[in-house]
Amino acid sequence: MNLDIYDRSQYADGAPHEVFAELRRTSPVHWQDIPGQAGYWALLSHADVTWASKQPEMLSSAEGGITVEDMDAEGLKGMRQMLLGMDPPQHRAMRKPLVPEFSAKVIAGLEPMIGDLTRSVLGEVDETSVVDVVEVAAQLPTRIVGGMLGLPPADWDHLHHLAAAAARSVNGDAEDANNNAIAELAVYAMGHAGARRGLEGEPPPDLTSLMLHGNFGGKQLDDIEFALLFVQLFIAANDTTVGMLAGGVSELLNHPNQLADLRADRGLIPSAVEEILRYANPLHYFRRTAMADLEIGGQQIRAGQKVALYYTSANRDESVFVDPQRFDIRRSPNPQISFGMGEHYCLGVHLARLEGRIFFAELLNAFSSIERDGAPRRTASNFNNGLDSLPVRVRR
């Protein structure tokens, strides 16, 4: 068995789950080489990933970035301006003011907006030709974040293309070409901030106002800081959500009896979304850097070494999940860890869950049948667990 979990070719047909299972048994804190640069420690058990997520001082996100490849100085500088690439106390100061706007209660209030957007996107699907679920799903995250920020609907399509390209460049799946997308998105954001600052009267009650007027560590954001936050919200919300939605449709098509069960009982949707998140988790890992010598699972990790937290493996840990390789929309309990944990726990967790619940409900309402029409194409990545294309035929 090829035990290399960095090798991209291992992910060509999906994550190498049998390799992760073997390593959880034989080497749960596993040293992995990277050709031409320093390798990394891979944490593969649910307990170790959970523990490591809660040690931001010892396991830094800022020191070396959040993917396992070395970054150049400029790349690191950019990464450290994102929430994901910050350490406490700066991280807490930047994250705290955003938390109320992403709370379960506030996000629940977005249900009508998300429902309308989802119905309108599904309503535009042309059932007379092959439909790419990835393209359909990709319409949603940008529009929804755009709605939260109060951006004009006329700009959403343009922003959607920029956000998709920007996300690919940050994930290391495509290089230079997409840096322009990040810059364009940032320029758009600065224009939006400028327009908002120029408005007379009470600021509208939306995420833009909160970002412009909130107290971030004792000060307000300037236009550049606003733009950086704006860009990272678009990037963080994009491929991850599309991965959950398209990955979910794919797994339901792989398990037609469970798709039929979901159709018959919509009460199963919340647990189906959790199982989709566990089984088709959109991100394989995030990385930290050890700030001191430490021991994890009997392995000595030296200061400066890279440590990767493998959600893909933790989600199938047989000491936590019964029959972990089985997709089961009724699974309970389901302590999946696809949103991370601790210091950097996904800010958009409630939004992502709500988008998932609404999408699968509206998908079943919109189409009486969904069938594959050709092979799906996976994203060539050892970081993003996604699909580039999922062709289907639908009937209303």
List the interface residues with ligand HEM, window 182-221 (CB under 6 A).
none
Q: Does 118 bind ligand HEM (CB under 6 A)?
A: no
∠ CA 375-383-378, rounded to 5°: 5
DSSP state of 283: B
Query: Do residues 138 and 160 make contact, with C-beta atoms less than 8 angstroms apart?
Result: yes
Per DSSP, the residues of 1-35 read: ----SS-GGGGBTB--HHHHHHHHHH-SEEEEEET
Residue nearer to ligand HEM on the CB measure, 57 or 371: 57
Mask for 281-320, x = binds ligand HEM (CB under 6 A): -xx--x----------------------------------
∠ CA 377-162-153, rounded to 5°: 110
Q: Which two tokens stand for residue 36?
A: 């031409």
Q: How far is the CB of 368 from ligand HEM (least distance, A)?
A: 27
Residue nearer to ligand HEM on the CB measure, 240 or 258: 240
Residue nearer to ligand HEM on the CB measure, 16 or 282: 282
Residue nearer to ligand HEM on the CB measure, 24 or 95: 95
Q: According to CB under 6 A, which one of 15, 233, 296, 363 is a site residue for ligand HEM?
A: 233
Q: According to CB under 6 A, which one of 49, 84, 193, 394 is a site residue for ligand HEM?
A: 84
Q: How far is the CB of 61 from ligand HEM (least distance, A)?
A: 6
* Region from 120-128, 201-209, 229-237, 357-365 binding ligand HEM, contact rule CB under 6 A: 229-237
Cα 241 to Cα 377: distance, rounded to the nearest angstrom: 17
List the interface residues with ligand HEM, window 333-372 (CB under 6 A).
338-340, 344, 346-348, 351-352
Residue nearer to ligand HEM on the CB measure, 110 or 351: 351
Instruction: Decide: helix, strand or coil at residue 286.
Output: strand
Q: How far is the CB of 171 from ligand HEM (least distance, A)?
A: 12
Per DSSP, the residues of 34-62 read: ETTEEEEEEE-SHHHHHHHHT-TTTEEST
Q: According to CB under 6 A, which one of 95, 160, 316, 350 is a site residue for ligand HEM?
A: 95
Q: Which two tokens stand for residue 162?
A: 């920029």
Residue nearer to ligand HEM on the CB measure, 193 or 242: 242
Q: Which two tokens stand for residue 338?
A: 């696809």
What's the length of the chain? 396
The backbone torsions φ and ψ at residue 172, rounded to the nearest 5 degrees and listed phi first, read 80, 10
Q: Does 56 bind ligand HEM (CB under 6 A)?
A: no
Residue nearer to ligand HEM on the CB measure, 20 or 286: 286
Q: According to CB under 6 A, which one of 241, 305, 313, 382 is a site residue for ligand HEM?
A: 241
Residue nearer to ligand HEM on the CB measure, 128 or 146: 146
Find the helix or strand (DSSP H, E) in which 181 lies: helix 179-197
Q: Which residue has the closest beta carbon to ligand HEM?
A: 348
Beta-carbon contacts of 96 under 8 Å, excluding residues fewer than 6 positions away, are none
| Strand stretches in the chain, DSSP E | 29-34, 37-43, 59-60, 131-132, 285-290, 294-296, 299-301, 306-310, 369-372, 377-378, 387-389, 391-395
Residue nearer to ligand HEM on the CB measure, 15 or 236: 236
Q: According to CB under 6 A, which one of 240, 289, 384, 385 is a site residue for ligand HEM?
A: 240
Cα 13 to Cα 327: distance, rounded to the nearest angstrom: 17
Please work out the total of residues on this chain that contact ligand HEM, with binding judged by CB under 6 A. Answer: 24
Beta-carbon contacts of 105 under 8 Å, excluding residues fewer than 6 positions away, are none
Residue nearer to ligand HEM on the CB measure, 178 or 232: 232
Q: How far is the CB of 190 from ligand HEM (least distance, A)?
A: 19
Q: How far is the CB of 268 from ligand HEM (least distance, A)?
A: 19
Q: According to CB under 6 A, which one of 32, 50, 53, 169 is a site residue for ligand HEM?
A: 53
Binding site for ligand HEM (CB under 6 A): 53, 83-84, 95, 145, 232-233, 236-237, 240-241, 244, 282-283, 286, 338-340, 344, 346-348, 351-352
